[in-house]
Amino acid sequence: MEYRIEHDSMGEVKVPADKYWAAQTERSHENFLIGVGIETMPREITHAFGILKKAAAIANHKLRPERMTDEKLAAISAACGEVISGSLNEHFPLVVWQTGSGTQSNMNTNEVIANRGNEIAGKKLLHPNDDVNMSQSSNDTFPTAMHISAVLAVEDRVLPAIDTLVATFRHLEETHAGIVKSGRTHLQDATPIQFSQEISGWRSSLERDREMLASALPYLKTLALGGTAVGTGLNAPEGFDVEVAKAVSELTGKQFVTAENKFHALTSKDEIVFAHGALKALAADMMKIANDVRWLASGPRDGLGEITIPENEPGSSIMPGKVNPTQCEQVTMVAVQVMGNDAAVGMAASQGNFELNVFMPVCAYNFLQSARLLAESILSFNKNCAVGIQANREKMHHNLHNSLMLVTALNPYIGYENAAKTAKKAFHDNISLKEACVSLGFLTEERFDEVFHPEQMV
C-alpha cells in the first residue's frame, strides 16, 4: 500500500495515499481497533455531518465572507454533496468506540471535505480546522449530527413504515368485517370479538405510537450548533446559530431551529431519550402484534389455527413440510434489541458531566440502529406476512361455539353463580353449555335458544 505523510499538532502520520482522511483520523483509526468493520460510526451520522458542514459553510459565507470566500464555499459545498450522497463512505472508517464527544468523527469529516474540496479546486485551498470547521467545535457538531440523523431516520423511515402497516391492517379490517371469533384474556377463553375489532387494536396501537414519535420531533429539531466548545459560542460570529439552522432546514426540507440554551444542548441528551422511548413503545407494540399473529396461526392442526399466514420458506431441516412464522420471529427479535438499546441510550444520556456529554457516539449508534431495525422489520413483516393474513372462518366458528365463556351471555337471565355452575358442569361432563344449563334446570331449551346468540355478544 502506498502512503502519504500528513501532520497535525502532534506531528507527522502516515496515511493511505488513496484515502481523503488525514492525520487525526488516522490516529483514531490506529488507536481504537474496536469493532472495526462491524461497529463503524453509523452512515446516518456521516450523512448528517455532510449536511451540517455545508450549512455551516453557507452561514459563514454570509457572516464572514472575507474568510469563507465564494471559492471556498463552492469547494466545501461540492465535497459535502459527495459526503451526503454516500459516495465517500469508504473514507469514513472510524468506529463508535472512540472519544465520547465524537471529536475524531468530526475531524474525519473535516479532513475528508478539505482534501476532497482541494482536489475539486485543483489547489491547496481548504484547511480542515480553519475552513471546514470554522465557527464550530466537535462539542456542538456531533450533537447536531445526532439530531439531524435522528429526525431523518424517524420522519423518512420509521413513520412511513408505520403508515404502510397501518394501511394493511385497515384493509384487513374491511375484508374481515363481520367475522366473530373467541376473544382471549390471560391466554384463556373470553367473550366473543369480531376479528376486525382485534385487528383494529393492532392498527390503533401503531397509530398511537406514530403520534408519540411525532411528538418527539420538535425537540429533536433543535440544534446545538453555535454553542462551540462549552455552550458560550466562542469563536462563532453573532447569529451563526440561527443562520446555520436555517441552512440545515433548507438542505433537508425540514424545519430545524437553533437550541435556545446551548449549555443544555451540549450536555443533555434528553431529547434523544424521549424519542427513543417512543421507539421502544413501538417495539413493544410490534412484539405484541407479532405474538398475536403467530399464536393465531399456530398449528396448523394442533394449535389455534384461526388464521393462515404466507408460507415463505421451509421451517425445519428434519421435519418435512414444517413452516414457521419467521416474520413474526424477526419482529420479536428486533423488539428485544430495541428494548436493550433503550437501556443503553438512557445510561449514555445520564453521563452529561459538567458542560458536555461524553457518551454521544454510543447514544447515537443505538438510537439509529433502533430506528433502522424497526423501519426495515415493519416493512418486511408487512410485505411477507401481514398482507397475506387470512381468517380461517371454520376454525374461528368452531372455537367460538366451543368456548365456555359464552356462558357470560346467560348472566342477565340466570345470574353469575348459576352461569358459573353451568360452565363448570359443561367442562366437567364434556357437554355443551345448552345441555348443562337445561340439565341444571336454569333454562328450558326454548328459552336458551331465545337468549343465547354468540354473534350478538360483540
Average pLDDT over residues 112-117: 98
186, 397, 398, 432: the active-site residue: 186
Distance CA 416, CA 260 (A): 61
Please state the rounded mean pLDDT for residues 321-331: 95
> Is it the case that residue 455 has pLDDT exceeding 90?
no
Q: What is the pLDDT of residue 28?
A: 86
Q: Average pLDDT, stretch 86-112?
A: 97
Q: What are the pLDDT digits (tens) for 395-443? A: 999 999 999 999 999 999 999 999 999 999 999 999 999 999 999 999 9
Span 261-303, pLDDT tens digits: 999 999 999 999 999 999 999 999 999 999 999 999 999 899 9
| 316 in catalytic set | yes
- pLDDT value of residue 252: 98
> Is 398 a known active-site residue?
no
Across the range 377-388, mean pLDDT stands at: 98
Give residue-wise pLDDT tens across range 87-98: 999 999 999 999
pTM above 0.75, yes or no: yes
| Per-residue pLDDT at 366 exceeds 90 | yes
Active-site choice (85, 87, 204, 316): 316
- Note the pLDDT tens digit of each residue in 6-60: 988 999 999 999 999 888 888 988 888 888 888 999 999 999 999 999 999 999 9
- How much is the average pLDDT of 84-88? 98
Cα 458 from Cα 340, distance rounded (Å): 38
What's the pLDDT score for residue 219? 98
Give the confidence band of 181 by pLDDT, cuts at 50, 70, 90.
very high
Computed over every residue of the chain, the mean pLDDT equals 96
Whether 328 shows a pLDDT value over 90: the answer reads yes
Reported as a single tens digit per residue, the pLDDT across 131-179 is 999 999 999 999 999 999 999 999 999 999 999 999 999 999 999 999 9
One-letter-per-residue 3-state SS of the chain? CCEEEEEECCEEEEEECCCCCCHHHHHHHHHCCCCCCCCECCHHHHHHHHHHHHHHHHHHHHHCCCCCCHHHHHHHHHHHHHHHHCCCHHHCCCECCCCCCCHHHHHHHHHHHHHHHHHHHCCCCCCHHHHHCCCCCHHHHHHHHHHHHHHHHHHHHHHHHHHHHHHHHHHHHHHCCCCEEEEEECCEEEEEEEHHHHHHHHHHHHHHHHHHHHHHHHHHCEECCCCCCCCCCCCCCCCHHHHHHHHHHHHHCCCCEECCCHHHHHHCCHHHHHHHHHHHHHHHHHHHHHHHHHHHCCCCCCCCCCEECCCCCCCCCCCCCCCCCHHHHHHHHHHHHHHHHHHHHHHHHCCEECCEECCHHHHHHHHHHHHHHHHHHHHHHHHHCHHHCEECHHHHHHHHHHCHHHHHHHHHHHCHHHHHHHHHHHHHHCCCHHHHHHHCCCCCHHHHHHHCCHHHHC
- pLDDT at site 77: 98
Residue 354 pLDDT exceeds 90: yes
